[in-house]
Structure 1
Amino acid sequence: MTADETTAATAGPDYPGHGERELVRIGARAIAAWIAEVITPRRRLLALGVAAVVGLATALLFRALFLGMDDAHGGETALAAALGLVIGALACSIILAAWLSGASRRLGSATGAHPHWRDAALLDRSVDARGRVALAPGTAERVAVESRRGIASGAVGVPAVLILGTAALVAVPVMLLAGSAPLQMLFVPLFFVMGATTVHSMCRLAGRMALLRDAADAELALPEAERMQAPRADPPHGSRLP
Structure 2
Amino acid sequence: MPSPSNNKIRPIKTEDRSDAILQSLTDFIVEEGLQPGDRLPTERELMNGLKVGRSSIREVIRHLQALGIVEIRRGSGTYLKRPLSEKTVYLPLSIATKRDGLLQTLEVRRALEVEASILAAQRATPDEIEEMRTKLEHMEAVHHLNGTAGPEDLEFHLSIYRAAGNPLFEQLLQQMRESFESFFEMPFDRKDFAGRSFPFHRQLFDAIASGDTEKARKHTLEILSVVEEDIVQMAQETDLV
Q: Do Structure 1 and Structure 2 share a fold, with TM-score over 0.5?
A: no
Please, what TM-score do these two structures have when normalized by structure 1?
0.25
Higher alpha-carbon Rg: 1
